[in-house]
Amino acid sequence: MIKTIGLLARKDGWTHAQFMQHWVEIHAPLAHAVPGLRRYVQNHILGERTRADIPATPVEIDGIAELWFDDRAALEAAAQSPEMKALHADGARFIGYIRSYIVEENTVVDSRMTAPM
């Protein structure tokens, strides 16, 4: 499984509430049409967790998006599709800044998994 994780910040002039409304009501439904997309997760920021021993990064974000694909080929095919291009075009309407990563998950703890013997 390959996924992209995007750290999203709203466009200048948009409130967090406006960003969230557009992201949920307008943007999210567009993801249903993207070919090969196995899962789309919007992570809505509820608060910030800080640590006394490690300083926070200066990056401020409004949400974190996850797009899941079977493999890199499926991701690349989806990226060329008109549906993904429409999703990206809509994102440009309300996302001011993005930092996006392609990642492969390495599960360390999963309570649904059987404990090792």
Q: Alpha-carbon distance 65 to 43, whole Å?
A: 6
Residue 38 lies in a domain: yes
Indicate the number of domains in the chain.
Answer: 1
Q: Alpha-carbon distance 21 to 64, whole Å?
A: 15
- Per-residue pLDDT reduced to its tens digit, 14-65: 999 999 999 999 999 999 999 999 999 999 999 888 889 998 888 889 999 9
pLDDT at 117 > cutoff 80: no
Question: How many CB atoms neighbour CB 61 within 10 A?
Answer: 16
Residue 54 lies in a domain: no
Residue 21 lies in a domain: yes
More reliable by pLDDT, 59 or 90: 90
Residue 8 lies in a domain: yes
Range of the domain at 28: 2-47+59-103
Report the first-to-last Cα separation within the chain, whole angstroms: 26
Residue 112 lies in a domain: no
